[in-house]
Amino acid sequence: MSSEAAVTACVLIIGNEILSGRTQDVNLAHIATELNESGVQVREARVIPDDEAIIVATLNECREKYDYVLTTGGIGPTHDDITADCIAIALNRPLYMHPELEALLRQREATAEVMESRLRMARVPQGAQLLRHPRGPAGFRVENVAVLAGVPGVMREMLKSLLPTLNGAKPVRSRTVTAFVTESQIAAPLTALQQRNADVDIGSYPFPRDDRYATSLVVRGTDETKLDLVAAELTGLIESLGGEFFTP
C-alpha cells in the first residue's frame, strides 16, 4: 500500500504480566482502531518488561522511527510503575509534581505514607500536557510520546483526550469479502489483483468454520472509490470460482 504522507505510530505495551501470559492485552486493537480514525497508522507494537534500561532504549529508538509513540502500563503508584521515570530519562526532562494532579490526589484523606505513594501519580515530565481521565489521575503527552494507563477502561478515557491533539492524515478504510474458499484456490488471481493495484493492500485471512476453511479477503487503503472497485473485482473472482459468500 502506498504510504505517501502516512502518519505513523508505535505502541509500547509495558508490563511483565503481558509477557508472562497472565494478562491478555486488549489495548492494542482498540488503540489501533481509534488512531486510524484520527488518520494515524499503527506500524509496530512492542511488548516489553518493567525494566528501566529496556524501556528507555526502546522509547528512544521508536520515537525517532515513528511520528507518535503511545505507551500503556506502569503509571500507578507502586514500585513496578516506572514509565514516567523512564520517559523523563529518555527525553531528558525532569519530573515535577503537577499542581492540578496533586490537588486532585490530595482530595481524599490518607496517612502520610499512603499519600506519598499516591502522589507518585502526580509526577509528569516538564512540558507535558495532561491526558485527563474524568475519575482519576491523568496520563500525559510530551513531545511525540503519549503515556496511557494499562487498565483498559482507564486507558480508553486517556486516549479520548489524546486523539484531538494528533495531526493525522487520511484514515485507512477497508472492504471485506468472506467466502467458503480456500486460500490456495484464490492465491494466484489474488496475487495478480494485488499487483495490478499496488495502492491498496490486500490481506487474506483463513479461519475454520463448520469443519471447512473459509477466507476473509480484506482490501485496505485510503481511497474509497478504489476500494469499491477492487472489492467488486474480488467478488467477481470468488463467484467465478463458485465460492459461497457469507457474513462471518
Q: Binding residues for a copy of itself, per CB under 8 A?
A: 15-26, 28-33, 36, 41-50, 76-81, 110, 113-118, 120-121, 151, 153, 172, 174, 183-188, 190-191, 194, 201-208, 218, 220
Helix (H, G, I), strand (E, B), or coil: what is residue 205? strand
- Give the nearest distance from C-beta 163 to a copy of itself in angstroms: 14
Q: Which is nearer to a copy of itself, 161 or 215 (CB)?
A: 215
Q: Are 209 and 243 in contact (CB under 8 A)?
A: no
For the bound state, the minimum distance from the C-beta of residue 127 to a copy of itself, rounded and expressed in Å, comes to 26
Q: Are 6 and 36 in contact (CB under 8 A)?
A: no
In terms of CB distance, is 99 or 211 closer to a copy of itself?
211
Closest approach, Cβ 95 to a copy of itself, in A, equals 17
CA distances from 183 to 9, 56, 58, 186 (A): 31, 42, 37, 5
Closer to a copy of itself by Cβ: residue 142 or 186: 186
Query: Rounded to the nearest whole angstrom, what is the least distance from the CB of residue 44 to a copy of itself in the complex?
Result: 6
Q: Rounded to a whole number, what is the distance in angstroms from the first to the last CA of the chain?
A: 25
Decide whether 17 or 233 has the Cβ nearer to a copy of itself. Answer: 17
Decide whether 23 or 144 has the Cβ nearer to a copy of itself.
23
Provide the minimum distance between the beta carbon of 39 and a copy of itself in the complex, in angstroms, as a whole number: 14
The nearer residue to a copy of itself, 23 or 129, going by C-beta atoms, is 23
**What amino acid occupies position 37?**
E
Contact 45, 10 (CB under 8 A): yes
127/205 with CB nearer a copy of itself: 205
3-state secondary structure of 212: strand
Strand-pair category, 244-245 with 173-180: antiparallel
CB of 146 to a copy of itself, least distance (A): 17
CA 171/CA 78 separation, integer angstroms: 38
**How many of the other CB atoms lie within 10 Å of CB of 24?**
7
* Minimum distance of a copy of itself from residue 8's CB (angstroms): 10
Q: List Cα–Cα distances, 147 to 17, 107, 163, in angstroms.
A: 18, 24, 13
Q: Are 216 and 177 in contact (CB under 8 A)?
A: yes
